[in-house]
Amino acid sequence: MKPGAMRTEALLITKEPYYEPQGEEIALFEGAYRNKIPVLLKGPTGCGKTRFMEHMAWRLKRPLVTVSCHDDLTASDLVGRYLITAGDTVWIDGPLAHAVRLGGICYLDEIVEARKDTTVVIHPLADDRRVLPIEKTGEVLSAPGEFALAISYNPGYQSVLKDLKQSTRQRFIALEFDYPSADLERRIVDHESGVGDEIAAKLVRFAAMTRNLKGSGLEEGASTRLLVHAAKLMVSGIGARTACQGAIAQALTDDPEMLAAINELSASLF
Amino acid sequence: MDEFRPLTAAEIEDWLDEELDAALSLRRTSRQAAISLSSLARDQQDFVRHWIAIVAKTNPELAFHFANHAADGLKRMAKDDAEAWIIQTMDVYDKMGLYPAIAALAAVEAFAAGRAERARAVALEEVGPVLELFLQALSGRPLRLERGARPFTDTTRLFLPASIAERPTREENLRLYKAMAAHLWAQTWFGTFPGSDPERLMNHCRSSRDPDYACELFHALETIRLDACLARELPGLYRELRALHNRPPPARAWQSWSARLEAADATVETTYEAAAALYGEPVPERRPYQGILDGGAVAVALAERMAQERAALQAALKKLLAGKASPPEGDDRRRFSAGKERSDRNEPTLLFDGERLTAPADVRALMQSIRQDLGEIPDEYLVPAGDGDYAPESPKKVEDVWKGTYHEDGAFLYNEWDYKRQHYRKEWCVLREVDVHPAEEPFVAETLRKYAGLSTRLRKTFEALRGENAVQRRQKHGDEVDFDALIQGFSDLRSGRELPDGLFLRHRRLARNIAVMFMVDMSGSTKGWINDAERESLVLLCEALEILGDRYAIYGFSGITRKRCEIYRVKRFDEPYNREVRARITGIKPQDYTRMGVAIRHLCGMLKGVEARTKLLVTLSDGKPDDYDGYRGEYGIEDTRQALLEAKRDGIHAFCITIDTDARDYLPHMYGAANYAQIDDVRKLPLKISDIYRHLTS
């Protein structure tokens, strides 16, 4: 096997990932997949975008290649590059090219974090051409019908720097994610942690309180993920207030006043 | 040893006569004060003299009273506490004037006792920010936290005492603050004051034989109900409430009503019924956190808010409607409706022609607030405003502040540094943001024509600056193979050495990540040449910055006295450089004075909210800080310096470009030795400024 190449089997998800639909997103994604249209997932952090992708990969029985984008991610990091072995250079596919060859699902998480020039390489893949030109080898990879591209971004940052270009976003079908409704979120927290209905409901109420603080010192309220963390801590015997402090308050902010306020809230609830 | 010998009464009197001259007369001498001060030790006397001199600069009359009380104060308190006493007095003077300040001085005994209490006391100032966040998170309409003699809420504002010290420990006093705030919040959240009848409580009390008793009775009963609500919703908080108050079991007559009020389905109606049934019974002991009820204040605030919110919602709906297709002819159904689900947890939903509409955040907040008062959104609220209707957003408009009665609504309050006191004057400056009146003159086009050569040159230099591409050689990882390194590496390998690990090329684009705020002096002294030069500079700068892609904002500042500081919007960060901005640059006109500190504080607050690696505040100025009410000389310079130090703490770099030829005397002290540029000839400002900016940011 070539160095660096990933095994297809390892990318296949065999066990059903737990997912509670918020709306019609599963049908929409399947529709997009059948029509070979790429998908854009919008939503705040920790509301289930990545879990949704895992679930869809399992449903469609396709391997899932996830790339977490960062601000130093170059086009070569996605497409591939030459490596040097003893006396020779070898071409290694990047995750995107790999996913195209496999006919898998490529999921670029937090796409706006990547450098602007990087996002452009997905353009020919994201319209009806569905090709990935590899400049350095002169190859033009044509995506098989099973291939799908999905990207995610968080519109809540409200930073001029972290905005998606129109030329990129207008190639996608967009699915909007938000924190689930109180009822649903309670079910998710309970299912993921086994903490019980009552405490899950309190945690959800707590999350709603922190979401009220968004914009007055908090960039984001507590995500469903943080609630699950707190709930798991409680299940393993840690006191409710301590769990909230560690898993939620400290994870959200460093500001002492904000921490004090959030801790007062958890103390009021539990 | 003269330095250690206490001064005699006569010596002090001479000194006082000179210092307090303005406050003395034939019948009012400083003798009494001198005698009392002569009994102090020398270091205490020096301390008192130091402060008398400072206070006298603020107000000689106040200094005279201070001189008379100082000996008493120092006998009761150590110097640290005495200093706090003086500072507090001056704050009172700043806020309320001379007579309250004199009263504060005379209350030295109480103050000294208060200082002793301070170890256990908690001040609203320290817990306020946390409580505010706490209340906001509890959800519901934002409640403004204010200082008041007694804790109560009018459903818009929440008043809490300035400090609490009635409990033996700090911890418990803190709990009491939280309990008060939460309990008052509960009044607004669990429907103590239904919006359908704002005057209900007031009328209920007034119609009774004994209004005070009726109010007490209602309050006691309502407190039972609210505590039960809190116990259900916030059990942790309820435990804290119980810990604060050892509650005796309810009297016989109250027992059944108590149980009814504590039931989950009890509403304020239940409380009114109970109040009618129990009228005449003795009222149980007040719970320490329950505060007071003020039906009158609630009626006023509620009525005012509801009228305002109704108009605001209707205006917002009209705006929403503007983007929609008009209904088919003859169809005059109401198009907006509200989701009927009644749940405090979910935000109210807005429906348009039966379809769910994602309303902007401010509309959602409005709907939430209306629902909090009325339980639902009444249909008549959902009729968009007609064309002729005007929507009074607030009866008090920012611009009207000087036309009628003075108010501070919608203004920003800022502290100001008093170097003599070495303390901030709290909420001393009142600042408002206003738009520069745009002027439709061909100024921008003329400037560009005038500086055509310069502007092409600028364009070139700035283009070169824009995101330079750099190739890094011999990298461990990279986009391409570095063949130079590879060939050399192979020869190394052949000759028996190791292959070096850096064999790749990496392309790096150095992205600029700068946000810059231009603060333009619009004081009266800029009239003429300077104003023209400033405006021309801004035009050239904007052109250059558009090439660079740096984020920038432009604000002017001026004002007259601390009560009227103004910031003039020319361009916000998120605004493109468009026709309107150009017209506003053209419209920049000289105004009044130069109060710099407050302008810096305001603009830095804005700059802080922008996400950028480098944040820059560039001031264009023509002279020293200067304002009508004593903001000049050292005072102004020190306050400006303090404001700049605050900016630095927030990671903002400040730079000043000035045309004042005396700038070297004071600018290094304010901005630091390397952070200013002085331009000798005003006419060169437009030429120089872009150069300076380029140097600054590369």
Minimal Cβ distance to B479: which of A76, A160, A268: A76
Which tens digit of pLDDT belongs to each residue from B366-387? 888 888 888 777 777 777 776 5
Distance CA A34, CA A28 (A): 10
Integer CA distances (angstroms), A49 to A97, A109, A176, in order: 23, 9, 9
B666 touches B483 (CB < 8 A): no
Mean pLDDT of chain B: 82
Average pLDDT rounded to a whole number, residues B588-603: 89
Contacts of A74 in chain B (CB under 8 A): 479, 507
What pLDDT score does A90 carry?
86
Tell me which of B192-196, B270-274, B405-409 is least confident.
B405-409
pLDDT band at B245 (very low <50, low <70, confident <90, very high): confident
Contacts of B133 in chain A (CB under 8 A): 213, 216-217, 257-258, 261-262
What pLDDT score does B398 carry?
47
What pLDDT score does B24 carry?
84
Is the torsion defined by CA of B512, B513, B515, B516 positive or negative? negative
What pLDDT score does A3 carry?
46
pLDDT band at A255 (very low <50, low <70, confident <90, very high): confident
Question: A83 or B224: whose pLDDT is higher?
Answer: B224
A contact test, residue of B125, B133, B546 with most A CBs within 10 A: B133
pLDDT band at B469 (very low <50, low <70, confident <90, very high): low
What pLDDT score does B465 carry?
66
Average pLDDT rounded to a whole number, residues B598-625: 87
Question: A263 or B672: whose pLDDT is higher?
Answer: A263
Pairwise CB contact (< 8 Å): A212 & B139 = yes
pLDDT band at A34 (very low <50, low <70, confident <90, very high): very high
Question: A32 or B515: whose pLDDT is higher?
Answer: A32
pLDDT band at A130 (very low <50, low <70, confident <90, very high): very high
Which tens digit of pLDDT belongs to each residue from B72-91? 888 888 888 888 888 888 88
Question: B247 or B386: whose pLDDT is higher?
Answer: B247
Question: A144 or B163: whose pLDDT is higher?
Answer: A144
pLDDT for B1 beyond 60:
no
A121 touches A75 (CB < 8 A): yes
Pairwise CB contact (< 8 Å): B133 & A257 = yes
What dihedral do alpha carbons B579, B581, B585, B587 form, nearest 10°?
80
Tell me the fold of A8-176: Rossmann fold (3.40.50)
B579 three-class SS: helix
Pairwise CB contact (< 8 Å): B480 & A182 = no
Which tens digit of pLDDT belongs to each residue from B123-173? 888 888 889 889 888 876 778 888 888 888 888 888 998 888 888 888 888
Exposure of A128 by Cβ count < 10 A (0-12 exposed, 13-18 middle, 19+ buried)?
exposed
Q: Is B134 on the interface with A (CB under 8 A)?
A: yes
What is the C-alpha radius of gyration for chain A, rounded to an integer number of angstroms? 21
Minimal Cβ distance to B178: which of A257, A264, A269: A264
Q: Is A88 on the interface with B (CB under 8 A)?
A: no
Size of interface A-B (CB pairs under 8 A): 81
What pLDDT score does A173 carry?
92
Question: DSSP secondary structure string, B292-349?
Answer: ---HHHHHHHHHHHHHHHHHHHHHHHHHHHHTSPPPPTT-----EEE-----SSSPP-
φ/ψ (deg, to 5) at B481: -80, 135
Q: A 24-53 residues with CB below 8 A of B?
A: none
Average pLDDT rounded to a whole number, residues B421-435: 85
Residue whose structure tokens are 């940011």:
B697
What residue spans define the domains of chain B? Answer: 9-118, 140-296, 297-323+333-382, 469-509, 514-697
Question: B506 or A123: whose pLDDT is higher?
Answer: A123
Tell me which of A169-173, A174-178, B357-361, B675-679 is least confident.
B357-361
Average pLDDT rounded to a whole number, residues B190-196: 84
pLDDT band at B511 (very low <50, low <70, confident <90, very high): low
B198 touches B189 (CB < 8 A): no
Which tens digit of pLDDT belongs to each residue from B311-326? 888 887 777 777 666 6
Tell me which of A6-15, B540-549, B649-658 is least confident.
A6-15
pLDDT for A158 beyond 60:
no
CA B295 to chain centre: 29
What pLDDT score does B407 carry?
59
Any idea which architecture B514-697 has in CATH? 3-Layer(aba) Sandwich (3.40)
Q: What pTM was estimated for this model as a whole?
A: 0.62
Instruction: Measure the CA angle with vertex A183, ends A177 and A189; round to 5°.
Output: 80
pLDDT band at B698 (very low <50, low <70, confident <90, very high): low
